[in-house]
Structure formats: structure tokens, C-alpha cells
Amino acid sequence: MWTEKLQVNPLPILLGTSDRILLFLIERDLLDASSGSIKSFWKLPEPQKILSHQLPNGAWPYKGNRPGDEIGEAYDLLETWKTLRKLVEMYGFDNSHPLICRACEFIFSYQTKEGDIRGILSNQYMPYYMGAILEILIKAGYEKDNRIEFGMQWLVNQRQDDGGWIAPLLLYKLDEFYKICLLPPIQPQRELPFSHMVTGMVIRAFAAHPQYKESPYALQAGLLLKSRLFKKDAYTSRQDESYWFKFQFPFWWTNLVTVLDSFMRLKFDNKDSDIQKGLAWLIENQGQNGLWKATYGKKGVTDPDYWVTYAICRILKYFL
């Protein structure tokens, strides 16, 4: 059993969760013991409450401050992706549900003639959000949609010379942000080294796609990411090494868990020395109660530490 290689067996405490859908996922993914369909959980009060706030156009409204309205930042696009990832990753919703179709079509409405989904950074390219958005659209059942293919090819064409990705806007200081957002999209400087924060979000789209996960682009990006474990990022506001260890579920930013999850889906070798280092860190930093801590993203999530631990246990079960 993979649990024998851990300091504490996390399964007993995980099985004590009061979250019914999490218990189903634990039994299905960690114990291979569940029965029934995940669709039976779609009518639970929690996801139904989320769905009840959806707008007629398929979006979920952003309720915070909106300082970027004047430069065309699409706050509802961000909020819709944030919400959709909960419904897809936690409750297994897909495009067989009409409201999920409506939400996905809202997101697709932001796809440009170049192929990227744009708007969270106003008119600027955002390959990291593009990867995370495509990941959820693929998992929602759109992997064969021509719009997904269009978006994946855009990501392929946006690669740096080394095979990774950067977000061109993030090369500039924050106080220049609003001025730059009004300009035509900044093109990537291909000769610059990749950003592991950006690449770690992009690779999730490749890892989720049944064909692209076996592509040379995914392999090259994975090799680059492995080389950067526990190191400082080259760019972005999330440069510090500590961001490798800030966990949440569903996933958002790049961290050790999101990267190992991608390596799992890409079927990387568990004997790889870099992956072994990542697994060793998880084993050594397990809490005395058997759980790993969620750092943020706790709002609106029951038992966030349990969800992060579930995600980590999927990885450990696969590699160990």
C-alpha cells in the first residue's frame, strides 16, 4: 500500500469528512471502491446554490472592486472560470448539463481570431490563464471541439525558444499595467527563458487533453518544469520559492501539487530524480494529523485541508 510509505495514513481522517462528494471521490480515486455515478451529486444543495447565481448569459458575476472596467478587463470571465473549475473539479459537472454548456459558451465568446481566450488582462495575451481555462473546458467535455484545437495551437505557437511560456505583460512593472493594457498585445520575446509559474498553468491544458498530453510540446514543457522545482521564478509577482508550497484545490496558481498532478497525467516515470524530490517533500511535510494544509482558496470550500490532501493522495497513490 502506498500509505505505508507515509508518516501517517491519511485515509482514516479523510474518510471522516462530512462532505458527501469528497467522500465519494476519496472512495472512488483512493480506494477504488465507489459505486454509482458522480452525476447523482449534482443535485446537492452546494452545487445547486452555485448554479442559482448564474446569469442568463452563462456567466457568474464578479462582486469585488472593478478598477479595470475602463480598460476592458473581463471580470465576469475570471469569475466564470473560477466558478466553473469548482463545478467540474469538485462535482464532476460536464457539458451534458445545460448550465455548464451555457457557462462554457460564455467563455468561448472571448476567443479571438488568433485563437486565444482574452480579456482577464484586457487586450493582452494571457497564456497562463489560457492554459488553466482550456484545462477546465477539456475536462468539461470539449476536448474534440474545434475551438479547443484552435486554442491549443495558439499555445503551441506562443512557446519560447526553450519550449516553455512567459506572460509578456508580466515583464513590466505593475504601475505600467493599465497603460500597457490599452496597447495592442505585447509579443513574447522568444529568446528569454521560460517562467515556471506560467508554464505550470499552461501545461495543465496539455495534461488534460487526450492527444496533446502525448505531444513533444508537453514532454518538453514537463522537462523544463522539473528542472525548476523549488527554485525562484524568472518573472511575475509570484517569484519567491515559497510559492511552490502554497496549495489549494481546485487548482489555480502553479505549485508543487499542481506540477506533480500534471506529471501524473503525463505519465512521467516515478523513478525520475526530480519527481522523487517532490514526493519526498510531500512525505516529509505531512501534518501530524495526516493532512496537508491548504494555504488559501478556503472561501466557499468545506474542509479545504481535506481537499488538498485528497489531491496530494491521488499523486502519491500513482507514483508510490
Instruction: Map out the domains of the chain with their CATH numbers.
Output: 2-319 (1.50.10)
Helix locations, the chain, DSSP H: 11-14, 20-25, 45-52, 75-91, 98-108, 127-137, 146-157, 177-181, 196-208, 216-227, 256-265, 273-284, 304-319
Model confidence at 215, in pLDDT bands (50, 70, 90)?
Answer: very high
Higher pLDDT, 72 or 213: 213
In whole angstroms, give the CA distance from residue 57 to residue 191: 41
Task: Tell me the average pLDDT across 155-160.
Answer: 98
Other beta carbons within 10 Å of 296 = 11
- Is the Cβ–Cβ distance between 79 and 132 less than 8 Å? no
Model confidence at 298, in pLDDT bands (50, 70, 90)?
Answer: low
**Is the C-alpha dihedral spanning 197, 200, 204, 205 positive or negative?**
positive
Please report the pLDDT score of residue 181 as a whole number.
85
Task: Tell me the average pLDDT across 179-199.
Answer: 93
Average pLDDT, the chain: 95
Please report the pLDDT score of residue 235 as a whole number.
82
Distances 149 to 137, 143, 209, 221, 304 between C-alpha atoms, Å: 11, 8, 10, 18, 34
**Long-range CB contacts (< 8 A, 24+ apart) of 77-85?**
77/106, 77/107, 77/110, 77/117, 77/119, 77/120, 78/120, 78/129, 80/106, 80/107, 81/107, 81/129, 81/132, 81/133, 81/136, 83/50, 84/136, 84/140, 85/132, 85/136, 85/250, 85/251
DSSP of 279-309, one letter per residue? HHHHHHT--TTS-----S--TT-SSHHHHHH
Please report the pLDDT score of residue 297 as a whole number.
64
In whole angstroms, give the CA distance from residue 261 to residue 159: 22
Dihedrals phi, psi of 243, to nearest 5 degrees: -70, -20
Flag whether pLDDT at 231 surpasses 90: yes
pTM of this structure: 0.96
Flag whether pLDDT at 209 surpasses 90: yes
Flag whether pLDDT at 53 surpasses 80: yes
Q: Among 34, 7, 4, which residue's Cα sits nearest to residue 22?
A: 34
- Is the Cβ–Cβ distance between 54 and 60 less than 8 Å? yes
